[in-house]
Amino acid sequence: MYFNIDPVPHLKRTIMKQLFLFISLLAFGQWAYPQNIVKQTPQGFDNFRPEIPQGKIDTIYYASETVGATRKALIYTPPGFSAEKKYPVLYLLHGIGSDEKEWLKNGQPQVILDNLYADNKIESMIVVLPNGRAMKNDRAVGNIFDSARVQAFTTFEFDLINDLIPFIEEHYPVLSTPEYRAIAGLSMGGGQSLNIGLGNLGTFAWIGSFSAAPNTKEPKLLVPDPDKAKKKLKLLWISCGDMDNLITFSQRTHEYLNAKDVPHIFYIEPGGHDFKVWKNDFYHFSQLLFKPVDPAIFSQYNLAGKPTESNVRAARYPQILPDGRAIFRIKAPEAQKIQLDLVKKYDMVKDNDGMWEVTTDSLGEGFHYYSLLIDGVAVADPASETFYGMGRMASGIEVPFEGDDYYQVKNVPHGEIRIKRYYSGVTNSWRRFYIYTPPGYDMNPGEKYPVLYLLHGGGEDERGWATQGKTDLILDNLIAEKKATPMLVVMLDGNVVLPGFGEDFLRLSEAELKQCVIPFVENNYRAKTDANNRALAGLSMGGIQTLYAGVRNTEVFSYLGVFSSGWIMPIQSSIANAEYEYIKNNSDLINNNLKELWIAMGGKEDIAYNNCQVMLSKFDEMKIKYTYSEYPGGHTWPVWRNNLYNFSQVLFK
């Protein structure tokens, strides 16, 4: 008999922190309205055109009770400004290294706006450029990262809400409801725009962030009530250059908003942390303000790919595009032919500088091995981290997807993965395993823990579950959510000295586990030592090792997990027949001793699918109790991560 369970975790992503300077702007819309998207600024967009009407830049002074001083700001009024007309207002913020004149000196927003007015592309608006450093000496002098100067950027929220906005609304003909008020900024100002705008949804309905800095609050603090944000916002714009080292702050906010289904534009563009990017952002952002915007256009702004998390430090490629395709590049001017081997082979194209490039089809979720075939030789991509798989060191690409939150780094207590060497009396050699110890292991010396022994697949070793499998992150998050019992996880090297995959190999693997690994773990770690507190699981080859060592040792293990596996027919038919005979004769013992026999497959595309179905039919004949789960993805790590996520939740309860 078997039971179907839902293996798909309904979780999303979250993220991290830092500090620096960057820009934020605002835009949103809720009405269907046709829009023509120009994704790159046209030539001359920021050139002064003397023949067109010009707006005006003035300096204003206002009394700030927040700071206890008279403060200065710049204000732009549009061409044809009239005191008889009321205008919406955009508050445009600078970065940490400057003041209210930064945009004027480097971005020329008045020229960009004048040109857009002349081309009939934007709504008339007033733009206020304040000093976001709310302190008496607000000049960008001395140590700009001094704690008091950094704190002044936080204080600015009160100065803006309580002093500057009331001053503007008293002295200028402006519309004073949230749908006519916007805030945006670059770098530090980008973080301020998110912090202030999203923290004051009753004040701002249009929010824009360009290259947000580390002052940006964590997403769950920015948007604690996603439903409220959906109702209040007209437009939320987040953008960053693809070469900007601070892109992670924009990325984490985008991922959280995505997970909470909050509509927004996430615009990744070519460039770094500079005004080339910010002027491009301002040009596009300003055209969306204070008029109907169709949320259907939001995805059209996602131009550039982003480097994958599996890249080596500072490597721009491989990149993942918004539609799941990936771009690979390598410079090899002397090579005659290069292919990307990602199960499917792609021919790469060489340019005049010796750079080879290819864009793949849309890739499936999660982790995938790949190689570069350079003139017929398979090599690892120097831009990728390497992983032991396929019997050698290979490259790997991590493809993000909606729902991968369960193995992301979160702000929760974290355990450790430790590497331990031991001498094996079975193989007469030094061997090693990786072991995960849960959060608090070293702080609670009197506590003992149950143990999951975890086996990898063929062509891999003990590093597989630790690195490709993300075991520590999966367990950290589950334990933090109280969905899994704190446990030790021992990631074994399932490769023993005998070649092949016959019964001698399986017998030796079983002996290594029972005679060497388990005693060593229980003598050196605070492990519980009864069957009810031991589990054994493995994927593919490790699944067969689990079947062989587990079913005949139910007095040792009360939980067995078999992922993407089943006796390989007809190669292992004699082993399988002997196992089935044992199971048939001991079915009551197995059913009574095992608290869980958990079997999972990667759908029909899994290469072990047919072998598994044959095995399950045999189990049904013998009335062996088990739980069966499927998660689409074939014979791959995305499937096995999901298997571990679900299997861990049934253990030791």
Q: Are residues 369 and 279 in the same domain?
A: no
Number of neighbours of residue 171 by Cβ within 10 angstroms:
11
Q: What is the pTM of this model?
A: 0.73
Tens digits of residue pLDDT in 334-376: 999 999 999 899 999 999 999 999 999 999 889 999 999 999 9
Residue 10 lies in a domain: no
pLDDT exceeds cutoff 50 at 6: no
Cα separation, 549 vs 575, whole angstroms: 12
- The full 3-state SS of 485-527, as one line of letters, equals CCCEEEECCCCCCCCCCCHHHHHHHHHHHHHHHHHHHHHHCCE
Buried b (16+ CB within 10 A) or exposed e, 280-299: bbbbbbbbbbbeebeeebbe
- Strands (DSSP E) along 381-449, which ranges? 386-389, 392-399, 416-424, 429-437
- The full 3-state SS of 523-550, as one line of letters, equals HHCCECCCHHHEEEEEECHHHHHHHHHH
pLDDT exceeds cutoff 50 at 194: yes
Q: Are residues 360 and 451 in the same domain?
A: no
Q: What is the torsion angle, in degrees rounded to the nearest 10, for the CA atoms of residue 605, residue 606, residue 611 and residue 615?
A: -110
Cα separation, 85 vs 124, whole angstroms: 10
pLDDT exceeds cutoff 90 at 12: no
The string of DSSP letters for 50-68 reads TTS---EEEEEEEEETTTT
pLDDT exceeds cutoff 90 at 536: yes
CATH of the domain at 346: 2.60.40.10
Cα separation, 286 vs 118, whole angstroms: 14
Q: Are residues 424 and 359 in the same domain?
A: no
Tens digits of residue pLDDT in 443-487: 999 999 999 999 999 999 999 999 999 999 999 999 999 999 999
Residue 310 lies in a domain: no
| Burial zone of 79 (CB within 10 Å; 0-12 exposed, 13-18 middle, 19+ buried) | middle
Under the banding of pLDDT at 50, 70 and 90, the label for residue 39 is low
Averaged pLDDT, 115-141: 97
Residue 37 lies in a domain: no
Q: What angle do CA 174, 277, 321 make, to 5 degrees?
A: 115
- 488 and 450 in contact (C-beta within 8 Å)? yes
- 598 and 561 in contact (C-beta within 8 Å)? yes
- 22 and 223 in contact (C-beta within 8 Å)? no
| Structure confidence at residue 4 (pLDDT) | 37
Q: Are residues 572 and 484 in the same domain?
A: yes
Residue 39 lies in a domain: no
Q: Are residues 61 and 177 in the same domain?
A: yes
Q: Are residues 343 and 462 in the same domain?
A: no
| Structure confidence at residue 317 (pLDDT) | 93
- 173 and 87 in contact (C-beta within 8 Å)? yes
Cα separation, 182 vs 205, whole angstroms: 6
- Nearest CA among 313, 400, 482 for reference residue 14: 400
Q: Are residues 273 and 390 in the same domain?
A: no
Residue 62 lies in a domain: yes
Under the banding of pLDDT at 50, 70 and 90, the label for residue 498 is confident
Under the banding of pLDDT at 50, 70 and 90, the label for residue 31 is very low
Residue 595 lies in a domain: yes
Total structural domains within the chain: 3
Bridge partners of 127? Answer: 76, 90
| Structure confidence at residue 612 (pLDDT) | 97
| Structure confidence at residue 34 (pLDDT) | 30
pLDDT: is 326 or 403 the higher one? 326
pLDDT exceeds cutoff 90 at 647: yes
Q: Are residues 564 and 448 in the same domain?
A: yes
- 406 and 645 in contact (C-beta within 8 Å)? yes
CATH of the domain at 168: 3.40.50.1820
| Structure confidence at residue 559 (pLDDT) | 98
pLDDT exceeds cutoff 80 at 24: no
Q: What angle do CA 53, 56, 61 make, to 5 degrees?
A: 170
Q: Which residue among 402, 421, 441 closes a domain? A: 402
Bridge partners of 437? Answer: 416
Averaged pLDDT, 181-201: 98
For the chain, the average pLDDT equals: 91
| Structure confidence at residue 303 (pLDDT) | 55
Cα separation, 212 vs 20, whole angstroms: 9
Domain span at 93: 45-305
Range of weakest confidence among 230-239, 312-321, 446-455: 312-321
| Structure confidence at residue 20 (pLDDT) | 30
Tens digits of residue pLDDT in 557-615: 999 999 999 999 898 999 999 999 999 999 999 999 999 999 999 999 999 999 999 99
Residue 13 lies in a domain: no
Cα separation, 278 vs 271, whole angstroms: 10
| Structure confidence at residue 304 (pLDDT) | 65
Under the banding of pLDDT at 50, 70 and 90, the label for residue 178 is very high
pLDDT exceeds cutoff 80 at 37: no
pLDDT exceeds cutoff 50 at 53: yes
Q: Are residues 342 and 412 in the same domain?
A: no
Q: What angle do CA 435, 441, 447 make, to 5 degrees?
A: 115
Averaged pLDDT, 187-212: 98
Q: Which residue among 381, 402, 423 closes a domain? A: 402
Q: What angle do CA 369, 399, 459 make, to 5 degrees?
A: 20
| Structure confidence at residue 316 (pLDDT) | 86
Cα separation, 580 vs 594, whole angstroms: 16
Q: Which residue among 346, 378, 402 closes a domain? A: 402
Number of neighbours of residue 458 by Cβ within 10 angstroms:
15
* Parallel, antiparallel or unpaired: strands 534-539 and 451-455: parallel
What separation in angstroms does the CA of 552 have from each of 504, 510, 618?
A: 16, 10, 16
- 135 and 150 in contact (C-beta within 8 Å)? no
3-class DSSP state for residue 595? coil
Bridge partners of 527? Answer: 449
Q: Are residues 214 and 249 in the same domain?
A: yes
Buried b (16+ CB within 10 A) or exposed e, 17-26: eebbbbbbbb
Tens digits of residue pLDDT in 397-417: 999 888 889 999 999 999 999
Q: Dihedrals φ, ψ of 294, to 5°?
A: -90, 115
Q: Are residues 461 and 329 in the same domain?
A: no
Averaged pLDDT, 121-132: 98
% pLDDT > 90, the chain? 85
Q: Are residues 244 and 109 in the same domain?
A: yes
| Structure confidence at residue 480 (pLDDT) | 98
Residue 12 lies in a domain: no
Under the banding of pLDDT at 50, 70 and 90, the label for residue 27 is very low
Rounded-to-5 percentages of helix, strand, coil across the chain: 30, 25, 45
Amino acid, single-letter form, for residue 138: D
